[in-house]
Structures are given as structure tokens and as C-alpha cells.
Chain A
Amino acid sequence: DAGITQSPRYKITETGRQVTLMCHQTWSHSYMFWYRQDLGHGLRLIYYSAAADITDKGEVPDGYVVSRSKTENFPLTLESATRSQTSVYFCASRPREGQEEKLFFGSGTQLSVL
């Protein structure tokens, strides 16, 4: 099916482990984003990418690494997971500049760090 998909849907890991969350979109959208959702904070931007090989920090980038070697994939890596990174993570994409309202979200990855 076309669209934006995230995997895994649920993940439990331990403090200090490396974890990678996957995001794949089939629309060839230029922009891709990673958000985390926490109670009382809404959605906060972690990293975004305007195109392949172009990434930039968002509001809360510390402890996360991203890459975008291909337009359709935008993985998010927690290099050494901490309990404060327990959250629901959403990937999103949109076509290009000037179409900020055309933001499409994946279904999310619920991550628990024990």
C-alpha cells in the first residue's frame, strides 16, 4: 500500500542500548520529519530532512541521530537509549516547500526504555 509506514509499531528496550526506528514513504515527498509525542508537550520536532542527504535539527535533537541516504527512508536512531526517551514517535512527510499543511503522519512507534 502507498503511504507512510513506521516500524516497529511497539518496541521495548533497555537503557544504554541502541535502537533504530524506521520510516518509509512511497510518495517521493521531499520533506520528512520525526516528532515525539509526550503528555503535556504535544508533538515536538526531533529532526527533519528537506531532501536526501540533507538533515537538520528540530526542537529536541539531543540523543538522536538521523540519516537520509534515500528519499523514501528516514530512520531515527537512539544511540544510547535513556528512560526519558520513552515516548511515542511519529514520522511525517510532505511534498515540498510552501505546502506545510500537506503533512502526512505515520501511525507511530511506541517506545519504552526500561
Chain B
Amino acid sequence: GDSVTQMEGPVTLSEEAFLTINCTYTATGYPSLFWYVQYPGEGLQLLLKATKADDKGSNKGFEATYRKETTSFHLEKGSVQVSDSAVYFCALSDDNDMRFGAGTRLTVKP
């Protein structure tokens, strides 16, 4: 079945550092790909998405590009802030359902 594999955390960075969180997927069809974020004490919310190959999703300085050839959707941000500290989940959605990775906890220190 379809699945999502995320880079294991936790990840700890200093403010203004570069962030990459790796995400790869397996799917039989052509899924849509998402990054969701869960801030402390809050519910899951969409960060960005891409619905077809080579699409780039972006929001709040975060970016991810749908790479069909490497089945990847890595999340990047050029300069992280303390307020980016959260758990990040990669997810895919296809004909059948929406599945999530295990999540990567990011802590950004001042």
C-alpha cells in the first residue's frame, strides 16, 4: 500500500539556520503531497501542498518540490525562526486515502 517515510527527528537548529526535512513516498498512482504542521498545543494544519510532479508548494518561507523521479517531497526553509518549532508531518493523498509520516520534531533555539 501507499506509504510515507520521513526523516527521523528530533531536529535542533539555531535561529537563521537552513532546514531540510526529508520525505519520500511510495504510491501506485499519482498522489497529491502535503506538509502539515502541529504547533505546541494546537491541531494539525496544512503548511503547503503540491498536486502534480514538479509542482512547488510554498508558504511562510517553507518550500517543497514534488519530485516524481526520486519519489520525494523534501521540506526546506532558508532561515528558521524560534516560532517554527513544531512537529512537521509529510502526507500523501490518492484515490483511496490520506496517509501520514511519523512526524519530525523541530526545535529552533535563539
Question: A and B bound?
Answer: no
Using CB atoms and an 8 Å cutoff, list the residues of chain A in contact with chain B. none
